[in-house]
Chains A and B, each alone.
Chain A
Amino acid sequence: MKPGDAIPELRVTPDSGATARYAEASGDANPIHTDPDFARRAGLPGVILHGLYSMAQAARASVDAQGGDPRRLKRLAVQFRGMGVPERELTVSGVMREGRDGRLLIDLTVSQAGRRLIRRGEAEVET
């Protein structure tokens, strides 16, 4: 891939159990991600996705765009914005740009129902 190219779009729909599985696999036990009553008391519509789960989708799209070799992803920076919810499709899109030292940068966004969950995502990959 070369500067200006879009990476293949990644689409994934977290099922209703996704936040509980991510909490267990990652050790992040904040109840706003797993306990609907707690989340509602906190003023949220229901449980929300972990930011790092959305970031993991951006990382996956970046690794997949490099032939599935995880060694090629050297850096990933994101800002978390909108709150993601389960059972709605996430879309990861990205465009390649020239980086330093022969590396490429990917400008990434992760969105759900037209709202950005991650903005200013930037991956640095070895080609």
Chain B
Amino acid sequence: MHEEVVRNLYEAFDRVDLEGVLEHLAPEVRWSTLDLNLEPRSYSGVAEVRDFLAGVFASSRRFSLELDDLLVVGDHVLAHARLRAPQARHGTGYPLAQLWTLQADGLVNRHRLYLSPARAANALCRRLGTARFRVDRSSIRRYAEAVHDANPVYHEVAAAEAAGFADLVAPPMFAAVYSAEAIWTEVLATLAGSGPIDRPEAILHVGQELSWARPVEAGDVVATHAWLDEAVTRGGMELLVFRSLSWSAQGREVAQGTWTVAVGGTGR
């Protein structure tokens, strides 16, 4: 739902539709932005935001805002957008990052604009429980060796470069490594109050799904946020379903995971 709301907002911006933007804002919205002279400005409440945006829209011929990519994490949506002059035929536009925070009812209660995607990604990390993993060549090689994978793009920089990577690329399942701290911290925090935290053998990993949005290379720093999505009891066992989302230092989605753990059973 949050993703759709943010997409609607960009469409409203594109149509220069002030009411179409405002209808998605909570009455007490806080809006941090830059004015047309790139001076930081902050507005509180829909009335103040309306006055600011009305001024921006009055000069809307000077630019358009193009949505590039979205990262949805919990109540936050990090949008990568490009500011372009409509007449410009060349160039990629000026990259902006906007961090939208939504309420449960889908209204925006916080908007922050960043000129640096990395600063937006950091802001996201500060607002969520996040574990960061610094990927280096040795961690990639050690992992690839541990799973007997001799694919040269995981071992030789020249082979990785020849395949179009900037440095050694991590095998897809390396997601289990950079997500580990966030996910297992969440699993243990969930079990701490309830169950067999002192019996590791009673915690069974019964299902796993991972999806990959972009590759991870040596030198990258990957942030992961994990949360408990669902808890169900089936056949005397408690099934806990955790989710994880990982993103790059530039705030681009890297991977998502669904981790299903069974607790309290005695075997598979």
Q: In the complex, how many angstroms separate the beta carbon of A81 from the nearest chain B beta carbon?
A: 6
Per a CB cutoff under 8 Å, which of B145, B172, B199, B200 touches A25?
Answer: B145
**Chain B residues within 8 Å of A99, by CB:** none
Output the nearest chain A residue to B170 by Cβ-Cβ distance. Answer: A70
Q: How far is the CA of A75 from the CA of B170 in the complex (A)?
A: 15
Per a CB cutoff under 8 Å, which of B139, B163, B184, B209 touches A75?
Answer: B209
**Contact status B153-A77, CB under 8 Å:** no
**Chain B residues within 8 Å of A52, by CB:** 173, 176, 205, 208
Q: Mark A88-121, 1 if CB is under 8 A from B, else 0.
A: 0000000000000000000000000000000000
Q: How far is the CA of A28 from the CA of B172 in the complex (A)?
A: 17
**Contact status B200-A57, CB under 8 Å:** no
**Contact status A73-B172, CB under 8 Å:** yes
**Contact status A59-B173, CB under 8 Å:** yes
Judged by a CB distance under 8 angstroms, whether B177 is at the interface is: yes
Q: How large is the interface on B (under 10, 10 to 19, 20 to 34, 35 or more residues)?
A: 35 or more
**Contact status B163-A56, CB under 8 Å:** no
DSSP class of B's interface residues: helix, strand, loop or mixed? mixed
Q: How far is the CA of A64 from the CA of B142 in the complex (A)?
A: 19
**Contact status B209-A60, CB under 8 Å:** no
Q: Mark A31-44, 1 if CB is under 8 A from B, else 0.
A: 11000000100111
**Chain A residues within 8 Å of B146, by CB:** 18, 21-22, 24-26, 53
Contact A75:B205 (CB < 8 A) given known A59-B173, A83-B268: no
**Contact status A81-B268, CB under 8 Å:** yes
Q: Which of B120-168 contact A (CB under 8 A)?
A: 139, 142-143, 145-149, 151, 153, 163
Q: In the complex, how many angstroms separate the beta carbon of B258 from the nearest chain A beta carbon?
A: 8
Q: Which of B45-53, B76-84, B210-218 is the contact stretch?
A: B210-218
Judged by a CB distance under 8 angstroms, whether B193 is at the interface is: no
Contact A75:B200 (CB < 8 A) given known A55-B173, A59-B171, A70-B215: no
**Chain B residues within 8 Å of A124, by CB:** 211
Judged by a CB distance under 8 angstroms, whether B220 is at the interface is: no
Judged by a CB distance under 8 angstroms, whether B180 is at the interface is: yes
Judged by a CB distance under 8 angstroms, whether B237 is at the interface is: no
Question: How many A-B residue contacts, CB cutoff 8 Å?
Answer: 115
Output the nearest chain A residue to B151 by Cβ-Cβ distance. Answer: A68
Judged by a CB distance under 8 angstroms, whether B207 is at the interface is: yes
**Contact status A25-B142, CB under 8 Å:** yes
**Chain A residues within 8 Å of B170, by CB:** 70
**Contact status A70-B205, CB under 8 Å:** no
**Contact status B143-A73, CB under 8 Å:** no
Q: How large is the interface on A (under 10, 10 to 19, 20 to 34, 35 or more residues)?
A: 35 or more
Q: How far is the CA of A39 from the CA of B149 in the complex (A)?
A: 27
**Contact status A78-B207, CB under 8 Å:** yes
**Contact status B207-A68, CB under 8 Å:** no
**Chain B residues within 8 Å of A55, by CB:** 173, 176, 208
Judged by a CB distance under 8 angstroms, whether B169 is at the interface is: yes
**Contact status A60-B207, CB under 8 Å:** no
**Chain B residues within 8 Å of A22, by CB:** 146-147
Q: Which of B162-196 contact A (CB under 8 A)?
A: 163, 169-173, 176-177, 180-181, 184
Q: How far is the CA of A25 from the CA of B147 in the complex (A)?
A: 9
**Contact status B200-A31, CB under 8 Å:** yes
Having A30-B203, A64-B151, one finds 10 other A-B pairs with CB under 8 Å, namely: A27-B181, A52-B205, A52-B208, A55-B176, A56-B171, A56-B176, A59-B172, A63-B171, A75-B210, A76-B173
A to B CB contacts below 8 Å, 10 in the list: A18-B146, A21-B142, A24-B142, A31-B200, A63-B172, A70-B151, A70-B170, A76-B211, A80-B207, A83-B268
The 10 closest A-B pairs by CB, nearest first: A42-B201, A77-B209, A25-B146, A75-B211, A56-B147, A56-B173, A21-B146, A25-B143, A27-B180, A22-B146
